[in-house]
Chains A and B, each alone.
Chain A
């Protein structure tokens, strides 16, 4: 145990060590970029530097976690518990993996501006702040650092109109969402007189429910709903996911979603346990709408990225089950599911990125026809990803789904798990055609798939991810053991137990 006094500047610095390391490294890399930003070799060099930054930040997180850093007294601004370290590690892994996927891809697409990696690191810092926030101001700060970096990243392929469109759409709707969130924060502050999660929780459970606090909670949920693309706040997702450069799409689909979910889980568990009877029905309605709309709309897509965007919406709906559960199992399920999901998304988008050609339109489902005969390993990898997203036994995605359902059932809820499996049942209608197109249809033209270039770093990263999906699908004990230890759980103050 290492108690850290967070009222002193030294204590806060120590508590923020992973974020500070990554920020500092990003600034150093920015300096390097100002000298070297012309050739492909420069871009690659900066990419490798940024990966080193991620490794350093992981090391800092690991050091804090190993030393058992805990807040001495009330955690101010930033949480200091196992859940934060776990979420930091997950977000850093996503950021690092996206950097690896981008390594040669950017040069091939003719994007020679290594500031990309700096933005990626800063976005990761924002995500870590958001996920670790113990205070509404930190939530806002992290959200904005993350969002502004990602707005730029979404429009990074400047010469393509769809990329610019994606950035603009994302920016406009994101700004709206920030407005909702800020309003919610203001109302909650008005109702309780504090920004701190724990104090809000104590205040709300000590006093009778007020309209102002309820409204604040509602607006906060809307703000987060935009960020994680919950129905009815999901309309931006498909266009933005399709237009953004593919590694950035992977980053948004896994990282941004994960960070916002971590923050939402902490907010609901620590600040609003007293209002559980209020937000559970809202979560139920949103989950049902998100699962149904996401899955049904995905059925109609022909573009792979749009299909995965809608499937990402559906997966956000599944994740709401864990929030609904409002229990230690729910917390662990969030971690496991997001780990499984991010591994799968990184691998799937890594393979899609290799199939894309410079300047060409996005990959359509029909573009994958006959892929197996030309690129057996890439298509097998993509097939494993599809099965994992589907939640097929033997893949890590299944373990994640299994855990989500268990967590909800353990609270006596059967309706949401049934909705979830209905959603999975629908989703086979769009995951299976991908496998079918790759393995059972003939290639369209003789020269099909000849332009696929799989950069070596991305190839290795994807191979590791696919192996992880299969290994953890059969032997999930290590991640499960990690996520179920007591240190990782959120404090569920005043959480009701047992079925209703």
Chain B
């Protein structure tokens, strides 16, 4: 496979094709008749999936640096280039994005019955932007994609969302836009300072990273400016309040894109930019403690709030806040295990939350409600759906044997040496998350069948099975055999740890490593 890919020059064109294809398809969608819009979107998404999966083999897990690199001048006056590349931190996120693409289109097949052209065009624009964020190695390109994503998301929530959509859409855009503004100043300031010191004004990631020590005197301010932008996106407690609204009001496709990809952009931002640029400040004892505490507060608080939600989607939204807290804890745990764990949590949260939102969307299509109390005993009329939901719920809880467990376990183990008390606190959430997830599963799919309106709920149809099957297969695969996944992230995680090692304060409990972890 690898040789075949190399023979067609795969590495040279794959990123450009992935980025451009959705954008080129948008005019097609707008020109062709309305009913063909979803077919075009699906076709593009499937082509992207087939092409994108090649990355799995073409990616060389033994090197830590950027692969599939392209560097073309774009706005040379400012030192801006079209610079893209993929490394071990971004490879899984890129793969996750291309995997979700056809599923999201397919999942919206029946749910979107009006203004289809606009919907699928925006969906494709969103995809291009998301991929752009993960592959950009130029800070201008990164910032542009980062911000441009807001527009499709805004319209997806605001036009196709449910009753309170205007409020949710506005809140989402205002939060994220304001959060990113300071990052703009910090970014320009950094480029200028580095440029003055080295004589090269460039927005290239590598260039800035190599000379990051030049900006060290201002590291605190710059880190805070970057961190606010990323923390809003993650969302880190207390910046999370936009998320339940946006998730709940968005159409299924929007919720999934939000949960699966958009939230990861924040944690990815910390791993890629926030910490490597300003390690001395970001990893200092105080900052680390503040971030890790906020992460753990978010983990526990969101789990408790999720327990009392009457709305299924809101429940899953809060569970996202909780899971993303694990990612943040893993990133600040600063060991190879915890960082790899954080990346795996990002992926597995994407799979399980995506699957949960799909099933909630299917329920909503049938019954036009998401209230837990409206359901009950659905397993009788929809056994397949109940099975899918239960597996997904287990994966979300972190049951051993499913994907959720691997990542959270690595995070807890890896971070324990640095934050033993906080990790102990975070570990309690295993109980809470089991409580809210299983309780919800029980109330929706088991219990007594009380509401006669639910009689007409059909089971999963073929299309829906086709959407759910890949997700569940992926969950099982990661849960049972995570080694290939870990192998692809390991080199990058090691390089990352080596990079930040000089700035790490000594761990509280030294010497805890996971033996036999080598895949």
Residues of chain A whose beta carbon lies under 8 Å from any beta carbon of chain B: 387, 392-394, 402, 405-406, 409-410, 414, 417-418, 421-422, 424-425, 428-429, 432-433, 436, 439-441, 475-477, 480-481, 484
Q: Are A414 and B192 within 8 A (Cβ)?
A: no
Q: Chain A interface secondary structure, helix, strand, loop or mixed?
A: helix
Q: B169 to chain A: which residues have CB within 8 Å?
A: 436, 440
Give the distance to chain A from B219, nearest Cβ to Cβ, in Å: 14
Q: Contact check: which of B159, B174, B188 meets A429 at CB < 8 Å?
A: B174
Q: Are A480 and B185 within 8 A (Cβ)?
A: no
**Is B68 on the interface with A (CB-CB < 8 A)?**
no
Q: B174 to chain A: which residues have CB within 8 Å?
A: 428-429, 432
A-B contact pairs, 9 of them (CB 8 A): A387-B151, A393-B143, A402-B78, A418-B182, A421-B181, A432-B170, A436-B170, A440-B166, A480-B77
Bound state CA distance, A151 and B185, in angstroms?
40
Q: Chain B interface secondary structure, helix, strand, loop or mixed?
A: helix
With A394-B148, A436-B166 in contact, do A476 and B75 touch (Cβ < 8 Å)? yes
Q: Are B76 and A417 within 8 A (Cβ)?
A: no
Q: Are B182 and A421 within 8 A (Cβ)?
A: yes
Q: B165 to chain A: which residues have CB within 8 Å?
A: 440
**Is B389 on the interface with A (CB-CB < 8 A)?**
no
Q: Are B158 and A436 within 8 A (Cβ)?
A: yes
Given contacts A424-B181, A432-B174, A480-B78, 11 further A-B contacts (CB under 8 A): A387-B151, A393-B144, A402-B184, A418-B182, A421-B184, A425-B178, A428-B174, A429-B174, A432-B170, A440-B158, A481-B77
Q: Are B192 and A410 within 8 A (Cβ)?
A: yes
**Is B449 on the interface with A (CB-CB < 8 A)?**
no
Q: B76 to chain A: which residues have CB within 8 Å?
A: 477
Q: Are B185 and A414 within 8 A (Cβ)?
A: yes
Q: B143 to chain A: which residues have CB within 8 Å?
A: 393
Q: Are A477 and B184 within 8 A (Cβ)?
A: no
With A428-B174, A440-B166 in contact, do A406 and B159 touch (Cβ < 8 Å)? no
Q: Are B147 and A414 within 8 A (Cβ)?
A: no
**Is B56 on the interface with A (CB-CB < 8 A)?**
no
Q: Are B144 and A409 within 8 A (Cβ)?
A: no
With A425-B178, A432-B173 in contact, do A439 and B155 touch (Cβ < 8 Å)? yes
With A393-B143, A428-B174, A440-B158 in contact, do A414 and B189 touch (Cβ < 8 Å)? yes
Bound state CA distance, A82 and B241, in angstroms?
52
Nearest B residue to A411 by beta-carbon distance?
B192
Give the distance to chain B from A372, nearest Cβ to Cβ, in Å: 9
Q: Are A418 and B147 within 8 A (Cβ)?
A: no
Q: Are B192 and A425 within 8 A (Cβ)?
A: no
With A409-B188, A414-B189, A439-B159 in contact, do A480 and B75 touch (Cβ < 8 Å)? yes
Give the distance to chain B from A437, nearest Cβ to Cβ, in Å: 10
With A417-B188, A425-B177, A484-B77 in contact, do A393 and B158 touch (Cβ < 8 Å)? no
Give the distance to chain B from A479, nearest Cβ to Cβ, in Å: 10
Q: Are B185 and A394 within 8 A (Cβ)?
A: no
Residues of chain B whose beta carbon lies under 8 Å from any beta carbon of chain A: 75-78, 143-144, 147-148, 151, 155, 158-159, 165-166, 169-170, 173-174, 177-178, 181-182, 184-185, 188-189, 192
Q: A424 to chain B: which residues have CB within 8 Å?
A: 181
With A421-B184, A477-B77 in contact, do A428 and B192 touch (Cβ < 8 Å)? no
Q: B178 to chain A: which residues have CB within 8 Å?
A: 425, 428
Give the distance to chain B from A175, nearest Cβ to Cβ, in Å: 40
Q: B166 to chain A: which residues have CB within 8 Å?
A: 436, 440-441
Nearest B residue to A477 by beta-carbon distance?
B75
With A393-B148, A476-B75, A477-B77 in contact, do A440 and B159 touch (Cβ < 8 Å)? yes
Give the distance to chain B from A336, nearest Cβ to Cβ, in Å: 10
Bound state CA distance, A439 and B170, in angstroms?
13
Q: Are B185 and A428 within 8 A (Cβ)?
A: no
Give the distance to chain A from B80, nearest Cβ to Cβ, in Å: 10
Q: Are A393 and B147 within 8 A (Cβ)?
A: yes
Q: B184 to chain A: which residues have CB within 8 Å?
A: 402, 405, 421
Q: A432 to chain B: which residues have CB within 8 Å?
A: 170, 173-174
Bound state CA distance, A12 and B55, in angstroms?
68
Q: B192 to chain A: which residues have CB within 8 Å?
A: 406, 409-410
With A428-B173, A432-B174, A484-B77 in contact, do A417 and B159 touch (Cβ < 8 Å)? no
Q: B185 to chain A: which residues have CB within 8 Å?
A: 405, 409, 414, 417-418, 421
Nearest B residue to A437 by beta-carbon distance?
B166
Bound state CA distance, A433 and B178, in angstroms?
16
Q: A480 to chain B: which residues have CB within 8 Å?
A: 75, 77-78
Bound state CA distance, A387 and B181, in angstroms?
14
Bound state CA distance, A477 and B80, in angstroms?
11
Nearest B residue to A387 by beta-carbon distance?
B151
Give the distance to chain B from A391, nearest Cβ to Cβ, in Å: 9
Bound state CA distance, A429 and B158, in angstroms?
16
Q: B147 to chain A: which residues have CB within 8 Å?
A: 392-394
Bound state CA distance, A477 and B75, in angstroms?
6
Q: A425 to chain B: which residues have CB within 8 Å?
A: 177-178, 181
Q: A405 to chain B: which residues have CB within 8 Å?
A: 184-185, 188
Q: A409 to chain B: which residues have CB within 8 Å?
A: 185, 188-189, 192
Give the distance to chain B from A194, nearest Cβ to Cβ, in Å: 37
Bound state CA distance, A417 and B187, in angstroms?
12
Nearest A residue to B185 by beta-carbon distance?
A417
Bound state CA distance, A441 and B169, in angstroms?
13
Q: Are B159 and A402 within 8 A (Cβ)?
A: no
Q: B148 to chain A: which residues have CB within 8 Å?
A: 392-394
Give the distance to chain B from A375, nearest Cβ to Cβ, in Å: 15
Give the distance to chain A from B229, nearest Cβ to Cβ, in Å: 11
Bound state CA distance, A137 and B336, in angstroms?
71
Q: Are B144 and A394 within 8 A (Cβ)?
A: yes
Give the distance to chain A from B423, nearest Cβ to Cβ, in Å: 36
Bound state CA distance, A422 and B228, in angstroms?
14
Q: B144 to chain A: which residues have CB within 8 Å?
A: 393-394
Q: A476 to chain B: which residues have CB within 8 Å?
A: 75
Q: A441 to chain B: which residues have CB within 8 Å?
A: 166
Q: B182 to chain A: which residues have CB within 8 Å?
A: 418, 421
Q: A393 to chain B: which residues have CB within 8 Å?
A: 143-144, 147-148
Q: Contact check: which of A406, A439, A484 meets B158 at CB < 8 Å?
A: A439
Q: B78 to chain A: which residues have CB within 8 Å?
A: 402, 406, 480
